[in-house]
Chains A and B, each alone.
Chain A
Amino acid sequence: MKKFLFSISVLFGICVHVSGQNKQLLYDFNEIPQSLMVNPGVVTDFDWYSGVPLLSGLSFQAGSSGISVNDIFADDGIDVNVKIRERAILGMSPSDELSGTYQVELLNFGFRGANPSVFYSLGLYHEGDAIGYWFKDYAILAVEGNADKLNQRFDLGHLRTRGEMLNVFHFGVNKKVNSQLTIGGRAKVYSSILDFNSTGNSGYFVTTEGQNNIFASTINANMELRTSGAASLSNAQDDGNLASTFLKRGLFGGNLGVGVDLGFSYNFNEQTILTASVLDLGFIYHTDNVRSYTLNGSATVEGVEIILPDALADPNRDFWQDLVDEIETFVPFERNSESYISFRPTKLNASLRYNFGKQLPTRVDCDCKTAFRSGGFPPRYTNGIGGQLYMINRPRGPQMALSAFYLRRLGNAMAIKTTYTVDKFSYTNVGLGLNLQAGPVNLYVLADNLLAYRNLADSRYASLQFGLNIISWGRN
């Protein structure tokens, strides 16, 4: 067995767990232990499982709701500047986003407790997440400028972004309350390495007809950028100790937070299951290495103004510097180190599944765990069909995705799940997941947005997950 595991580990090199924020293929795919990470209240029948330590997860996901690589760089003979103007500058809206997530799972294992109706899971993963909305008016200013745009307000609120890097230590409890209900919770401690957010900006820049001079330029700003850890990492890079600083901040040496995942599965009857979970209901309190920047105020200028005879009073007056000082007084750019709280991007999942077809034999060892068996598990059927809802809290409000899925089990050795998902990235997102069980070895591959593989450059969203676990049902 050890040789087999070693071979598998070497073969895969790394157990990659690539996932977007929406893990609709993994959700309620309870053959896979990682489904506990998206619903701590999922129905589990494992005795224990373990991901390969340090090799159990590397993930990357990126999505762009407004534009694809192909839109700009297709070899189509169209001037790239025309494409940028028509497809990006004018074609995208401020609600379009570019977002990315990665996850590196360092430890993940679970075991059934002395009370066999309780399953524990715990581990540690590293996560990075960032989102930036299309800063449309900034882009128009940068590309076209403000000439010939009299009275057009450039919305400074178009700058909305947030991002973070952190380690998450977690411990989950999954409890089968009775034959119908399973509940679960996962406590999380966040160790923030880096955080930045600028999400509550408002204001505008506008050029209007001047009162005295030809034009009046007005800025009205209420902007803030909050960061923690950035200065520390920047200094560490200069000092050549980036890795150790990164590690230290990720192991409780940075800013800390707490959170919780909650979930349940409820069987209306043998064939109909309702599930729901809320993930990352938590926050991080940033007190260490905080650097925040604000730009607040309002000012209107009409160039250097020399009004006689007043200007004769001080012949040495520096009108230009006065103008600069006036702007800085009315719209001060300030820095501070005040502590702040950042809330994690909370996710909500829910599903309703109807099972049908043949019942499958149980995988649980029938010679032990009597109490565990006594409550009984809902029978597993060869087919399952249903719908899922996903929501995530984002800087511009909640985002939602709806999925329809079909699950097919081929004995206890293989299960296939396919999904069709509609969200802001795509209306044609078809995903396919495959779970294989070869003795104790569990391998799964989940691929999202498969139609985009016809031309990856034209894809606005892609997600691929695969992983490797060792699972025991008590008879391995």
Chain B
Amino acid sequence: MLRTYLLFGLIILNSCVEKQDFDQFDEISLQPELEASVLYVTAPEALINLAPAANFYAQDFNFDAFNEDYFAERVIEGSITYLVENTTSKELEVSVQFLDDTDTVLDTEIFTVPAAPTPILEREIAYGNGGRSIEIIRNTSSIRVIASNLGDSTSISDLPEPMITLRSSGRFRLLVR
């Protein structure tokens, strides 16, 4: 009986724990990289021709995706990719501005695209980590889009459904931990 007691005792009491380094917990890093579309703007050439002025569209609109607390407090770097496609018969300019909550312009990106046929203009703007200040993203609460016609207002492209289209997506890394 004594030997059985001792056997149990030895098993339980002599159990071992290999050296663990729980300080590694502090080194755990969570930095997911999120990707989604941001802004899509399109205007047909017929509308551009009807506009009384060269500046055929100018609008500010609310955009709270970037300054939502969870995102703004954690975003550390990222980029916005723009694809601008012009199938109209005229040279066009599209300006995208990021504004803060006092309507101060934080960032401006201007796209000038020649008349069709012209390749899709692709541009990636980096923020943080060597790019433009990530504070631009954190403080953006609205976006201003200004589209201007740099050509005539009578011609019509031979391409089907001629239009100017701006597509964009954001890709941002968050420091969750």
Shortest Cβ distance from A233 into chain B, in angstroms?
27
User: What chain B residues lie within 8 Å of A366 (beta carbons)?
Assistant: none
**Contact (Cβ within 8 A) B37 A69:** no
Shortest Cβ distance from B37 into chain A, in angstroms?
3
User: What chain B residues lie within 8 Å of A473 (beta carbons)?
Assistant: none
Of A142, A145, A321, which contacts B62 at CB under 8 A? A321
Bound: A320/B39 CA distance, A: 10
Given A73-B20, A213-B167, A215-B35, is A302 in contact with B12 using a C-beta cutoff of 8 Å?
A: no
The answer to whether the Cβ of B42 comes within 8 Å of any Cβ in the partner chain is: yes
The answer to whether the Cβ of A143 comes within 8 Å of any Cβ in the partner chain is: yes
User: What chain A residues lie within 8 Å of B15 (beta carbons)?
Assistant: 453-454, 456
Of A79, A146, A306, A464, which contacts B40 at CB under 8 A? A306
Residue in chain A with minimal CB distance to B42:
A307
The answer to whether the Cβ of B111 comes within 8 Å of any Cβ in the partner chain is: no
User: What chain A residues lie within 8 Å of B8 (beta carbons)?
Assistant: 432, 434, 445, 447
A-contact bits for B1-15, CB 8 A (1 contact / 0 none): 100110110011011
Stretch in contact with the other chain, from B22-30, B100-108, B125-133, B149-157: B22-30
Which residue among A216, A311, A315 has the maximum number of chain B CB atoms within 10 Å of its CB? A311
The answer to whether the Cβ of A124 comes within 8 Å of any Cβ in the partner chain is: no
Of A213, A315, A317, A320, which contacts B169 at CB under 8 A? A213
**Contact (Cβ within 8 A) B16 A432:** no
User: What chain A residues lie within 8 Å of B64 (beta carbons)?
Assistant: 320
**Contact (Cβ within 8 A) B30 A304:** no
A-contact bits for B151-176, CB 8 A (1 contact / 0 none): 00000000000000001110101101
The answer to whether the Cβ of A225 comes within 8 Å of any Cβ in the partner chain is: no
**Contact (Cβ within 8 A) B11 A145:** no
User: What chain B residues lie within 8 Å of A148 (beta carbons)?
Assistant: 33, 35
The answer to whether the Cβ of B65 comes within 8 Å of any Cβ in the partner chain is: yes
**Contact (Cβ within 8 A) A304 B38:** yes
User: What chain A residues lie within 8 Å of B57 (beta carbons)?
Assistant: 308, 312
The answer to whether the Cβ of B32 comes within 8 Å of any Cβ in the partner chain is: yes
**Contact (Cβ within 8 A) A301 B37:** yes
User: What chain B residues lie within 8 Å of A7 (beta carbons)?
Assistant: none
**Contact (Cβ within 8 A) A302 B34:** no
Size category of the A interface is: 35 or more
The answer to whether the Cβ of A379 comes within 8 Å of any Cβ in the partner chain is: no
Of B22, B25, B32, which contacts A145 at CB under 8 A? B32
Shortest Cβ distance from A29 into chain B, in angstroms?
15
Residue in chain A with minimal CB distance to B81:
A214
**Contact (Cβ within 8 A) A75 B44:** no
Bound: A74/B81 CA distance, A: 42
Q: Is the interface of A mostly helix, strand, loop or mixed?
A: mixed
Q: How many A-B residue pairs lie within 8 Å, measured between CB atoms? A: 166
Stretch in contact with the other chain, from A172-180, A187-195, A410-418: A410-418
The answer to whether the Cβ of A309 comes within 8 Å of any Cβ in the partner chain is: yes
User: What chain B residues lie within 8 Å of A141 (beta carbons)?
Assistant: 32
**Contact (Cβ within 8 A) B35 A147:** yes
**Contact (Cβ within 8 A) B35 A447:** no
Bound: A144/B174 CA distance, A: 10
User: What chain B residues lie within 8 Å of A305 (beta carbons)?
Assistant: 40
**Contact (Cβ within 8 A) B32 A72:** no
**Contact (Cβ within 8 A) B17 A456:** yes
**Contact (Cβ within 8 A) B35 A308:** no
Residue in chain B with minimal CB distance to A83:
B24
User: What chain B residues lie within 8 Å of A445 (beta carbons)?
Assistant: 8
Bound: A320/B62 CA distance, A: 6
User: What chain B residues lie within 8 Å of A73 (beta carbons)?
Assistant: 20-22, 24-25
The answer to whether the Cβ of A450 comes within 8 Å of any Cβ in the partner chain is: yes
The answer to whether the Cβ of A458 comes within 8 Å of any Cβ in the partner chain is: yes
Residue in chain A with minimal CB distance to B27:
A80
User: What chain A residues lie within 8 Å of B37 (beta carbons)?
Assistant: 210, 213-217, 301-303
Binding site for A on B (CB under 8 A): 1, 4-5, 7-8, 11-12, 14-22, 24-25, 27-30, 32-44, 47, 57, 59, 61-65, 81, 83, 143, 145, 167-169, 171, 173-174, 176
Name 8 extra pairs, CB < 8 A, besides A144-B32, A145-B32, A320-B64: A147-B33, A213-B37, A213-B169, A302-B37, A319-B62, A432-B7, A432-B8, A455-B18
Binding site for B on A (CB under 8 A): 69-70, 72-75, 79-81, 84, 141-148, 207, 210, 212-217, 301-309, 311-312, 315, 317-321, 410, 413-414, 416, 432, 434, 436, 445, 447, 450, 453-458, 464
Contact sample, A vs B, 23 pairs, CB 8 Å cutoff: A70-B20, A73-B21, A74-B21, A80-B27, A142-B176, A143-B30, A144-B32, A145-B173, A146-B32, A146-B35, A148-B35, A214-B167, A215-B169, A306-B41, A306-B42, A306-B59, A307-B40, A318-B62, A319-B63, A410-B1, A432-B8, A432-B11, A434-B5
